[in-house]
Amino acid sequence: MASETCKACDKPSLRKFIDFGQMPVANAYVREEDIRNPSFEEYTYNMAVGFCDVCNMVQLTETVPYDKYIIPDQIGNTKYAFFSSQSDVMKRHFAGLAEEVENKFLAGNVGRSYNRRVVEVGSNDGIMLQAFRDRESVLGIEPSSNVARVAQEKGIETIVDFFSQNLAEELADEKGKARAVLTANVFLNIYDIHDFMNGVNELLDDKGVFITEDPYLGSILEQGGYDQIYDEHVWYFSLSSLKNLYGRHGFEIIDAKPQTVHGGSMRVYASRSGTYPQMPRVKEILEQEEEKGLTALNPFLQFAETTKKNRDKLINLLAELKSQNKKIVGYAAASKGTIVHNFCSIGPDTLDYIADSTPAKQGLYTPGMHIPIVAPEVFRQDKDVDYAFLGAWNHAKEIMSKENAFINRGGKFITHMPEPHIIEP
Ligand SMILES: [Zn+2]
């Protein structure tokens, strides 16, 4: 097995363990006029993942430029389809985070070192920052102007830009240093992770904390969640790989807490080495990672084997139902679905359409396989559907309770997690 250069530690120790072949950008939905246009060329890249023997970082071997998925419109506004605040679960989740940051890192922060400045990188529509009581002290940085505008309308100061060392230097000069820099589901998207860390170092004051929350590699491996791998996710973090990355920048992990959102995430707290005591659970999680094998190549090779087996199983299951003349459609158009459809070659000959409640996606086609996306009402009125394949298994409960009329008339849902099967009511 050939090694490539690890983008976290620069050593020639990156070992590719899974290759999905050519993939489209997972959220680049295709317009009808593009499908009809014979010269339309959809952007694709080779999606493959490697593990670093030296620093344990798991990463995409080929990355996709930001402008392929943060797409500017005719007048130059950048758009990102997903508005965070549409989810009540996430609203509550971030309210919890804000309260914790206020109590632990801002509350006792009085006198000469008084600093309540909180900066969120990738602040989306302000879902997290709006949970902080002191709105004057929060600042969002968000490259997608359509969601940033929503945050600004809510009164949350938001800069439309990518975070970088240069921007951090400017902000530190103009607005002062921050006590906390936060990111949620953003750090894993950052290509130049060292420039980002230099920026964090510039922006934080001497007692500053850097808090990240991203899908946890341990959960992905445990669940066989290969559909969490896609273009925007450059990195797949374990605590061990973050410890090595932070160490290079003079930072250390002071706390880590597993979260249930997004199929299993980890909230990781870091500061400059020696600033805060380290919570005992950091060591415990690091030890668990050694035991589970997150620090060795072998479990990743096993993950690749299981993924291929599950692909074949799903293809066979759907082919079997089609041979019985069953009508199958998809439910929920999401990045996860794009990966599964393309990896398993599931196209409009298998799924007649995909029902999705996001108006902006209706009327478009899925990336790569070009399955038409329709409103859920179309699905509800279509009494010929026998099976609905779930594109977002993490929302299975919510979807199934919403669509119990379908289940009551004998319709069944299919999921590919943890392995492909028909969900029996
Ligand atoms: Zn490395």
The per-residue pLDDT string of the chain (425 residues; one tens digit each, 9 = 90 and over) reads 557 999 999 999 999 999 999 999 998 899 999 999 999 999 999 999 999 999 999 999 998 887 776 655 544 555 554 556 567 788 899 999 999 999 999 876 555 557 889 999 999 999 999 999 888 899 999 988 888 999 999 999 999 999 999 999 999 999 999 999 999 999 999 999 999 999 999 999 999 999 999 999 999 999 888 999 999 999 999 999 999 999 999 999 999 999 988 778 999 999 999 999 999 999 999 999 999 999 999 999 999 999 999 999 999 999 999 999 999 999 999 889 999 999 999 999 999 999 998 888 899 999 999 999 999 999 999 999 999 999 888 788 888 999 999 999 999 999 999 999 999 87
DSSP, res 372: B
3-state secondary structure of 29: coil
Q: What residue type is 96 in one-letter code?
A: G
Whether residue 324 contacts residue 377, with contact meaning beta carbons closer than 8 Å, is answered with no
Helix (H) or strand (E) run with residue 50 in it: strand 44-52
CA of 7 to the centre of ligand 1 (A): 7
CA of 14 to the centre of ligand 1 (A): 7
Q: Is 38 exposed, middle or buried (0-12, 13-18, 19+ CB in 10 A)?
A: exposed
Quick one: which of 195, 148, 185 has its CA closest to 8? 195
Instruction: Enter the tokens of residue 54.
Output: 């030296």
CA of 297 to the centre of ligand 1 (A): 13
CA of 300 to the centre of ligand 1 (A): 15
CA of 194 to the centre of ligand 1 (A): 13
- C-alpha distances (whole Å) from 245 to each of 13, 192, 261 are 15, 12, 24
pLDDT, position 71: 58
Instruction: Enter the tokens of residue 323.
Output: 């041979």
Pairing of strands 3-4, 138-141: unpaired
Residue 101: how many other CB atoms lie within 10 Å: 21
Name the one residue in this structure whose structure tokens are 């779930």: 390
What are residue 375's phi and psi, to 5 degrees? -75, 150
CA of 245 to the centre of ligand 1 (A): 9
CA of 246 to the centre of ligand 1 (A): 12
DSSP bridge partners of 372 = 365
Helix (H) or strand (E) run with residue 400 in it: helix 396-402
Q: What residue type is 61 in one-letter code?
A: T
CA of 224 to the centre of ligand 1 (A): 23
With b meaning 16 or more CB within 10 Å and e meaning fewer, what string describes 114-148? ebbbbbbbbbbbbbbbbbbeeeebbbbbbbbbbbb
CA of 391 to the centre of ligand 1 (A): 33
CA of 223 to the centre of ligand 1 (A): 24
Whether residue 12 contacts residue 345, with contact meaning beta carbons closer than 8 Å, is answered with no
Q: H helices of 154-254, where?
A: 165-175, 193-203, 217-223, 239-248
Largest CA distance in the chain: 74
pLDDT, position 147: 87
CA of 6 to the centre of ligand 1 (A): 5
Whether residue 379 contacts residue 357, with contact meaning beta carbons closer than 8 Å, is answered with no
CA of 51 to the centre of ligand 1 (A): 8
CA of 192 to the centre of ligand 1 (A): 14
For 304, left (φ over 0), alpha (ψ -120 to 50), or beta? alpha
CA of 3 to the centre of ligand 1 (A): 11
CA of 10 to the centre of ligand 1 (A): 6
3-state secondary structure of 140: strand
The CA distance from 77 to 69, in Å, is 13
Q: Give 405's contacts (C-beta < 8 A, 6+ positions apart).
A: 380
The CA distance from 419 to 309, in Å, is 9
| Cis-peptide, bond into residue 38, ω within 30° of zero | no
CA of 238 to the centre of ligand 1 (A): 12
pLDDT, position 350: 98
pLDDT, position 87: 73
Give CA torsion, residues 104, 208, 90, 163, to 10 deg.
Answer: 170
CA of 57 to the centre of ligand 1 (A): 6
CA of 263 to the centre of ligand 1 (A): 25
CA of 12 to the centre of ligand 1 (A): 8
What are residue 271's phi and psi, to 5 degrees? -145, 175
Pairing of strands 204-215, 328-331: unpaired
pTM: 0.91
CA of 201 to the centre of ligand 1 (A): 21
Q: H helices of 154-297, where?
A: 165-175, 193-203, 217-223, 239-248, 280-292
Q: H helices of 293-326, where?
A: 298-323
